[in-house]
Amino acid sequence: MEPQKRQLFLPAEWNKQQMVQLTWPHENTDWNYMLPEVEACFLEIAKAVSSRQPLLVVAPDVNAVRATLEAGGVRMDNVTMFECQTNDTWARDHAFITLLGDNVPHYVDFCFNGWGRKFEASLDNAINGKLYDAGIVKGEYEDCNSLVLEGGSIESDGRGTLLTTSICLLAPHRNQPMTQNEIENSLKKMLHVNRVLWLDYGNLIGDDTDGHVDTIARLAPNDTIVYMQCTDVEDEQYKELAAMEKQISELRTADGNPYRMLALPSPQPIYDEDGERLPATYANFLVINGAVLYPTYAQPENDKRAEAVIKEAFPGRDVVGIDCRALIKQHGSLHCVTMQYPKAERGY
């Protein structure tokens, strides 16, 4: 008799990791007008990750990127390079989502369509298949391209609970005419979760994603939600974030208890050269082995407050700030350009 397979589960981000993916910016992306500035930010992320665990870098010209990494002091023995054509750099949304529980990881490949067909994404949507065919990721391939889903739109506690937003998953050109209930059932089946918690508020001004949860509210160990709080009643985002805060306070854990809530400050508003507000947020942090990388915005008081909150949420980990003022110019931040690949084992 064959041994019974263990139940698959969607690990939390703080599960032990095998590597992190970066999809590198290049001259044919929207970064072309500020390539040196954004490469400097990517380089800092690469250094912080590679000093602690393996890093996967996807790029159309790996030789050029390798030279940049070597010159920048990245730990190259921890870097795997993979060459393929790409549209952009938002690995969080086009990379695999990994399930564990079996003897090997299960790599779930959802459809990425440029956040509801806002941007061309056919090359990015093909990256996962190429990585798998090349043996860069080893495990089971799960084809879920029937559903449009971005990694930044979901959060897992590793114990069967998923946190997401209706403002994103029900946004135009994603999965119509599916209802919220039909989408929830698909998530439960494809991601092996037991329940889905929905937030209906919090879409940041300047956010192209229609309200990804990783910009506003994040799950953390010990039934904790770390979220973006706005205390300035004059801020144009105040009402949305206050409504979200109230809704989080009404959520319950699988055991029926309130979540522990840790409030991150809102950065002071940052605007582009056209006077448009950019979606700066401290909630867009990345958990890796032994550390949390979090975005900073050259706002010393707010940056330090955010650091303190993240340290409280993730005890025992280093908390490392990365200046992400470059990233928000294309309406994302640190978590948006990264994707972790968990190890096939449980562990903090």
* CATH number of residue 337's parent domain: 3.75.10.10
As to burial, measured by CB atoms within 10 angstroms (0-12 exposed, 13-18 middle, 19+ buried), residue 203 is buried
Residue 347 forms part of a structural domain: no
Q: Which value, to the nearest 10 degrees, does the dihedral of the CA atoms of residues 107, 173, 211, 141 take? A: 0
Considering the domain boundaries, does residue 242 fall inside one? yes
**pLDDT confidence bin for 348, thresholds 50/70/90:** very low
Residue 12 in any domain: the answer is no
Domain assignment present for residue 348? The answer is no
- Give the domain extent around 117: 17-342
Is the model's pLDDT at 342 over the cut of 50?
Answer: yes
User: pLDDT of 275-323, one tens digit each?
Assistant: 999 999 999 999 999 999 999 999 999 999 999 999 999 999 999 999 9
Q: Does residue 10 form part of some domain?
A: no
**Predicted TM-score (pTM) of this structure:** 0.96
In a domain, 6, yes or no: no
Q: pLDDT tens digits, residue range 177-226?
A: 999 999 999 999 999 999 999 999 999 999 999 999 999 999 999 999 99
Q: How far, rounded to the nearest angstrom, does the alpha carbon of residue 74 sit from its chain's CA centroid? A: 22
Q: Which has the closest alpha carbon to 24: 51, 56, 47?
A: 56
Structural domains of the chain, count: 1
Domain assignment present for residue 11? The answer is no
4 lies in some domain: no
Report pLDDT for 4: 44
